Amino acid sequence: MINKKLLAICASAATFATVATGQVAPGEVVFGETGAVEASLTGVAGDPVNGASVFKNRKKGNCLACHGNSAMLDQLFHGEIGPSLDGTGSRWSEAELRGILVNSKNTFDGTMMPAFYVDSGFTRILPKFEGKTNLSAQEVEDVLAYLQTLSE
């Protein structure tokens, strides 16, 4: 069993460059029935400060493209496609928020929100994005830690 798993890790190392040892690979994330993900993707506590910068970074989370966030009024553009994230840390549990970040399709059927920790199953994909996730496992944990600070 162990050998098989090691082989699988070695085989995927070339394509899944973002998945480091000790992290849950995108295809191995376990979802609950309502889309929540109980287990940390990395086992390392999320850093809310880095999470905030990933959140507003237009090339990373780009969350403000679709969401308002009153805690970031220094940022010019706030989108209205999704609900405001004010107080979202009080509305959802840690596991629910992790599930929404990893693949919101499991929580919200047919949502426009992108999956941030999925590396296959996209309908259209540029070759340079193949085998890559939008965010790394630790970036997901960091954004999650930031979302938990948005409480009411």
Counting contacts by CB under 6 A, is residue 37 touching ligand HEC? Answer: no
**Residue of the chain from 31, 62, 94, 118 that contacts ligand HEC (CB under 6 A):** 62
**Residue of the chain from 23, 116, 133, 142 that contacts ligand HEC (CB under 6 A):** 116
**d(Cα 137, Cα 149) in Å, to the nearest integer?**
19
104, 117 contact by CB (below 8 A):
no
Binding segment (CB under 6 A) for ligand HEC, from list 3-11, 15-23, 37-45, 55-63: 55-63
Q: Print the SS3 string covering 58-86.
A: CCCCCHHHCCCCHHHCCCCCCCCCCCCCC
Alpha carbon 51 to chain centroid distance?
11
Binding segment (CB under 6 A) for ligand HEC, from list 3-11, 21-29, 41-49, 77-85: 77-85
**d(Cα 116, Cα 76) in Å, to the nearest integer?**
23
Name the residues that contact ligand HEC, by CB under 6 A: 55, 61-63, 65-67, 81-83, 85, 88, 91, 97, 100, 108, 111-114, 116, 143, 147
